Chains A and B, each alone.
Chain A
Amino acid sequence: MKRLTSSVTDGHGFDAVLVGVPFTFLFLLSGLPLLYNVLMSFQEVDMFSLGSFIRPFVGFENYADLFRQPETVPILINTVIFVLGSIAGQFVIGFGLALFFWTNFPGASWLRGLFLVSWVMPGLVVGAIWNWILSGDFGVLNFMLREMGLISGNIFWRSDPSFSLWAVVLANIWLGTSFNMILLSVGLSAIPGDLYEAAEMDGANAWHRFWTITLPMMRSTIGAIIALGLIFTLQQFDLFAAITDGGPNNASNVAQYWAWDLSFRQYDFGRGATISVIMTGFVMLAAMVYVRSTRHEVRG
């Protein structure tokens, strides 16, 4: 007993406790639910069997049902569009801003940090603001586009099925751009300056330097950022809740919102769990890409 106490205060037991408790906690609250999710995807779970431990086992019925539903495929396509559109926008704008601030003028770092306010704001508030900006008859964005002569009639961002998904993409780009920019700035500042000096002496122009030095040197950073973007984009929920609610007619619905909707609005926990399981598989795949791309950094 005494040895155990002394090990905890002064030996490897100390490390074991420090690591063991949080890992147990994480296992109970993240690992177990993950497994429970898989179990529920094979059960019929509705409001009446919510509290009981023994529920009807339905095999792959939930999965089969899901793919019989006409909305499944469009929602999965929406998810892909949402992810690709958001990542592309966040990355391109973020990279542009990072390159701009990299030129380093007085006030650059402070201003750059200011951009991050979009990232610290609650997603629901960001969604509320964009919902109002994008409003059809009175939205300020429609007003600006009209004044600039880009559109002749108002765009009904939230109610028009050809725009509603893009309304959320737009808000998500705004939300995530600054985070991309900051991470890319870090990557840029890690490139040794003498590489550029040498290239300049060789007579390479700015465009050339970008393609031959900047991009290759940034490869691992870019890989990590795109993987991170994928992860964050698939986590996005609040913007859907605040802007379109997945509508109209699922035109802006994505898998992560649909899973919640099935569970908590339609009370079909079994099917909600089924989508969760499928999506979790995809997210884990993205995470592995991320870990691979940062592996050498992880090792420090």
Chain B
Amino acid sequence: MSDTSRDRLMLVVALAMAAIYLFPLYWMYVTALKSGSDMFASPPSFWPTSPSWGTFAYVWESRNMGRYLWNSIVIATGAVTLVAVLGTGCAYVLARYRSVWVDIGLFLILMLQVLPASLMITPIFVGFTQMGLLEYPRFAVVLAIAAKSMPFFVVLVRATFMAVPVELEEAAQVDGNSRIGAFVNIVLPLARNGILVSAILIFMQAFGEFVYSKSIIQDVSLQPASVGLNSFMGPNTSEWNNIMAYATLYVTPILAIFVLLQRRIVSGLTSGALK
């Protein structure tokens, strides 16, 4: 078998596997386009013969999705900002030095990364209640998410800083830069890509966050889209086309960003996660 025909065969097999693996996603899109009666047809149709595009507008309006998505964006942006501001410097220092203390710091950070949110929410909720933080529920969720995802960010970004040669920074200092100057002018620009990719990953996670938002935010007008989806689904098992339309509107932007930046995200992820 020649190399090209082998390649073609592999490609076909790979495409078939991708099709099987991504079927759930496809099923979401197809169901969103079905009408109420098509949805429960037996046998089910695998292609939307008469797509009803009106479902999207209907769900957007009736579920008040604009507000939900806006809250998701506010929460995710807040969390990413906080994480990036606090985490970048931390990652830099942990990359710059080698000592027992750095190892201990890294160990502590890893330990904090592993705690499941659904277990942490009990003390966080009670603590926040006592401190009166529940008055600002979205801010409270931003704090909680930031604490949860910062360790991940630090680990990823640290790997990026490791790739920046210390000599460059020292040269900048010789040229009269202060530590801050060298950090801001030389190191940060070089690590920009890694930081950006990590921030996008954190944003995606925060955009879909559920446990903290569900438990902390009681006011519907401040809840993010994940909680909105949960309250749509909860009592409802008959409107699957509408639920899938909601899901479509919710995840398509994330998926688009991901597919566009796929190469960078994957390489950013693989450089940090295992190291």
Contacts and interface: CB of A to CB of B under 8 A. Distances in A.
Asked if A and B touch directly (CB within 8 angstroms), the answer is: yes
Residue among B6, B87, B211, B215 with max Cβ neighbours from chain A (10 Å): B211
Nearest to B229: A124
Given A50-B129, A122-B226, A283 B25 contact: no
A128 B112 CA distance: 29
Interface string B12-41: 011101100110110110010000000110
B192 interface: no
Given A143-B43, A174-B24, A297 B275 contact: yes
B244 interface: yes
Contacts of B109: 26
B14 A108 contact: yes
A153 interface: no
A270 to B, nearest CB: 9
Contact of A14 (B154, B180, B240, B266): B180
B90 A22 contact: yes
Nearest to A10: B178
Interface in A146-185: 147, 174, 177-178, 182-183, 185
A100 B14 CA distance: 8
Interface string B194-209: 0000000100100111
Interface stretch (A56-64, A196-204, A205-213, A285-293): A285-293
Interface in B176-220: 178-180, 183, 201, 204, 207-211, 214-215
Nearest to A275: B119
B57 interface: no
Nearest to B246: A128
A143 B40 CA distance: 12
Contact of B14 (A32, A107, A242): A107
Given A22-B87, A107-B14, A114-B262, A135 B96 contact: no
B266 A10 contact: no
B156 interface: no
Nearest to A276: B119
Interface string A262-300: 011000010011011001100110110011001001111
A191 interface: no
Contacts of A131: 233
A80 interface: no
A110 B250 CA distance: 24
- Give chain A's interface secondary structure class: helix
A128 B270 contact: no
B65 interface: no
B125 to A, nearest CB: 7
Nearest to B92: A18
Nearest to B132: A51
Residue among B92, B97, B121, B263 with max Cβ neighbours from chain A (10 Å): B121
Nearest to A138: B40
B54 interface: no
Contacts of B183: 14
B51 to A, nearest CB: 18
Contact of B18 (A103, A106, A114, A241): A114
Residue among B18, B116, B143, B210 with max Cβ neighbours from chain A (10 Å): B116
Nearest to B40: A138
A129 B6 contact: no
A113 B180 contact: no
Interface string A122-143: 1111101111110100101001
Interface of B: 6-7, 10-11, 13-15, 17-18, 21-22, 24-25, 27-28, 31, 39-40, 42-44, 86-87, 89-90, 92-94, 96-98, 103, 105-127, 129-130, 143-144, 146-148, 150-151, 154, 162, 178-180, 183, 201, 204, 207-211, 214-215, 226, 229-230, 233, 237, 240, 243-244, 247, 250-251, 254-255, 258-259, 262-263, 265-266, 269-270, 273-275
21 contacts: A11-B179, A25-B147, A29-B146, A37-B120, A50-B126, A105-B7, A108-B14, A120-B201, A122-B207, A122-B251, A133-B27, A135-B237, A183-B270, A187-B274, A237-B118, A237-B210, A242-B233, A264-B215, A290-B114, A291-B107, A298-B103
Given A15-B96, A121-B255, 15 more contacts: A11-B179, A37-B123, A101-B14, A113-B265, A116-B265, A116-B266, A120-B255, A122-B210, A122-B251, A123-B210, A185-B270, A237-B116, A238-B211, A260-B119, A299-B98
